[in-house]
Structure 1
Amino acid sequence: MINSKAKNLNCPTCSKVYDLTELNTFATCCHQPLEVTYDLSSTFDKSELKGRENSMWRYSEFLPLKNLEHKVSLGEGMTPILDLKRIAKTYGYSKILLKNEELNPTGSFKSRGLSMAISMAKGLGVTEIVMPTAGNAGGALSAYCAAAGIKCTVIMPAITPEIFKKEVKFYGAELIVLDGLIDKCGQKAVEIQKATGAFNMSTLKEPYRLQGKKTMGFEIAEQLNWELPDVIVYPTGGGTGLIAIWTAFQEMVQMGWLDAKDLPKMVAVQSSSCCPVVDFINDRPNTPESYGESVAFGLAVPVAFGKDLIARVIKESNGYCVSVDEAVIVPKTSELAQKEGVAMAPEAGAIWQAVLNLTDEGKISKEDKILLLNTGNSLKYLDSFD
């Protein structure tokens, strides 16, 4: 047993309590993602983190897994924060940092969420899982299900690069390929769930992927010696990572590890070809059919189940939700790679362009300490850069 401080699951809208020891999906009362609540009234000093294992599990008190025997880990977490000195100097910024999530076991930040979710699923007796994906999550799910001995079915848009499809098959998962974007794959996942009883692990349709990704926030604080950046810029499809980082900051404020006045502005970035959260926050009418593909596959999410929580993060942090021109994503990703030598996914080009745009608009300053999130490895996307 480990000393997890998780208490229960709560609906973020009406606060209805759901049992942590039962298999849950989302808050059916208000059709919202479920949040895990923790007893943070008595914790420990943050200095006690020193010397712990070099993975996301160093924060186990703030993760929901109660029994370590069910832990399914491939060594995810504690990815480095890089100082992008050359790109900062080129554009006149004082500090541009990059949290480099490509170094996770399956090549993206998805490793964190799937490690946590599969650990919980294993402990709750799940034997079969189905999930839609735009790319990286499918490979991560397949790997962690293989490690856990859980049957896995992944549903992926046909437009997804072949390397992602091969990755799923490599780990022994069943792959279903469909025309359309991830929303169509999500509909198929529901059909399979109803027909087979498989557990549906769609983004924010279960509570624990967010909890794994939350460790990015804990790491950012610890790695920066508890002095947070002024601005964090995050590529946003389903929005789990953005919500998760902010959740971690809020928990650390409750414990006295951070001061609320020092929390950063959170910036959610989407592509002009698929920007449902931007449209939602700006009260612009939208339908899934109005959105198209993106070279940054993680941004091609026409329906964001967690849009209310994303909007809450933007409001609470005094941040921004913006879209960038789809046409600039590849050249801006290439610019970062050629200046810094880091294998960045196309989503990085989107967030870098957002920084430049927001600077031009006077919403962020070149004197700000800015942290970017590279969510994946460019090696899976190289065909997109031709």
Structure 2
Amino acid sequence: MATSCLTHLECARCSERVDPGVLQTFCSCGGTWLARYNLEAAARSLNPETFLNRRVGFWSYPEVSPSQSDGASRGLGEGGTPLLPIRALPELELNLFAKDEGINPGGSFKARGMASAVSRAKELGASALALPSAGNAGVAAAQYGAFWNLPVHVALPVETPAPFRDAIQTHGATVYE
């Protein structure tokens, strides 16, 4: 089975590099970490045949996932969302498509990032997660925290719509306003 080609984390602000095998928060400069991969190594196993022979879904390409575990058996059904043709503007003569991310868990593309982040945090021994959110990221974090048995703490703006707050709390996360 293929494995992750993750090589390091790199700060988006100052370009500092750190070991991806160590649990991180923010860079000392306050920047966020970007996952970096050995794309040449990934390309050796990702080819047209790979795409035909692997199932559709978020966890089907471990070469470009930070997670080291077999997420294929551990996800909530994220990814594999359809591309839908847009025919509303035929005069433009474009082949235009929209990605329906609403069928992801929580109804948002945020499920993809949180599935990866929470899975990796669990692998690295995190005991809890905390994040600020305006809604969808908090819902996704709460869902994946519940799935991987990690307590989640979400800071929300006071004007956050109640459905987001309710969904976060329904999944067992603690909300701070």
Q: One-letter code of the match for 1:153?
A: H
* 1:309 counterpart residue number: none
Contact 1:70 1:119 in 2 (8 A): no
* 1:33 counterpart residue number: 32
Residue 80 of structure 2 corresponds to residue 48 of structure 1: no
Aligned CA-pair RMSD: 2.1
**Quick one: structure 1 residues 134 and 69, their matched pair in 2 at CA, closer, same or farther if it must change by over 3 Å?**
closer
* 1:238 counterpart residue number: none
* 1:99 counterpart residue number: 99
What SS does the aligned partner of 1:130 have? strand
Contact 2:3 2:63 in 1 (8 A): yes
Q: One-letter code of the match for 1:126?
A: A
* 1:67 counterpart residue number: 69
Q: How far did residue 151 of structure 1 move?
A: 0.8
Distance (Å, rounded) in 2 between the aligned partners of 1:156 and 1:71: 31
* 2:163 counterpart residue number: 163
Distance (Å, rounded) in 1 between the aligned partners of 2:129 and 2:5: 27
What SS does the aligned partner of 2:140 have? helix
Contact 2:106 2:139 in 1 (8 A): yes
Residue 173 of structure 2 corresponds to residue 173 of structure 1: yes
Moved more, 92-101 or 126-135: 92-101
Output one character per residue of 1:300-324: Cα deviation in whole Å (capped at 9) or x when no partner.
xxxxxxxxxxxxxxxxxxxxxxxxx
Q: One-letter code of the match for 1:23?
A: L
Residue 122 of structure 2 corresponds to residue 122 of structure 1: yes
Q: How far did residue 176 of structure 1 move?
A: 1.9
* 2:141 counterpart residue number: 141
Q: One-letter code of the match for 1:55?
A: G
Q: Which has the higher helix share?
A: 1
Q: How far did residue 62 of structure 1 move?
A: 0.7
Contact 2:136 2:164 in 1 (8 A): yes
Distance (Å, rounded) in 2 between the aligned partners of 1:21 and 1:71: 22
Q: How far did residue 173 of structure 1 move?
A: 1.2
Q: How far did residue 31 of structure 1 move?
A: 3.8
Distance (Å, rounded) in 1 between the aligned partners of 2:23 and 2:73: 16
Distance (Å, rounded) in 1 between the aligned partners of 2:14 and 2:161: 41
Q: How far did residue 36 of structure 1 move?
A: 1.9
* 2:89 counterpart residue number: 88
* 1:76 counterpart residue number: 78
Q: How far did residue 17 of structure 1 move?
A: 2.2
**Quick one: structure 1 residues 33 and 155, their matched pair in 2 at CA, closer, same or farther if it must change by over 3 Å?**
closer
TM-score by length of 2: 0.87
Q: How far did residue 26 of structure 1 move?
A: 3.1
Distance (Å, rounded) in 1 between the aligned partners of 2:150 and 2:72: 12
Answer 1 or 2: higher relative contact order, Cα 8 Å, separation at least 6: 1
What SS does the aligned partner of 1:41 have? helix
Q: How far did residue 122 of structure 1 move?
A: 0.3
Contact 2:6 2:65 in 1 (8 A): yes
Contact 1:72 1:115 in 2 (8 A): no
What SS does the aligned partner of 2:112 have? helix
Aligned length: 173
Distance (Å, rounded) in 2 between the aligned partners of 1:66 and 1:137: 22
Distance (Å, rounded) in 1 between the aligned partners of 2:10 and 2:131: 23
Contact 2:59 2:72 in 1 (8 A): no
% identity of equivalent residues = 33
Output one character per residue of 1:240-297: Cα deviation in whole Å (capped at 9) or x when no partner.
xxxxxxxxxxxxxxxxxxxxxxxxxxxxxxxxxxxxxxxxxxxxxxxxxxxxxxxxxx
Which residues of structure 1 form unaligned runs of 5+?
178-386
Larger Rg: 1
Contact 1:11 1:35 in 2 (8 A): yes
Output one character per residue of 1:17-64: Cα deviation in whole Å (capped at 9) or x when no partner.
201110112332x54322222222232223212131221111211111
Query: For residues 215-230 of structure 1, what are the structure 2 equivalents within 5 Å?
Result: none
Distance (Å, rounded) in 2 between the aligned partners of 1:14 and 1:163: 37
Distance (Å, rounded) in 1 between the aligned partners of 2:104 and 2:71: 22
Contact 2:132 2:154 in 1 (8 A): yes
**Quick one: structure 1 residues 110 and 155, their matched pair in 2 at CA, closer, same or farther if it must change by over 3 Å?**
same
Which residues of structure 2 form unaligned runs of 5+?
none
Contact 1:8 1:37 in 2 (8 A): yes
Output one character per residue of 1:104-163: Cα deviation in whole Å (capped at 9) or x when no partner.
011000100110000011001111111111111111111100001111111212222211
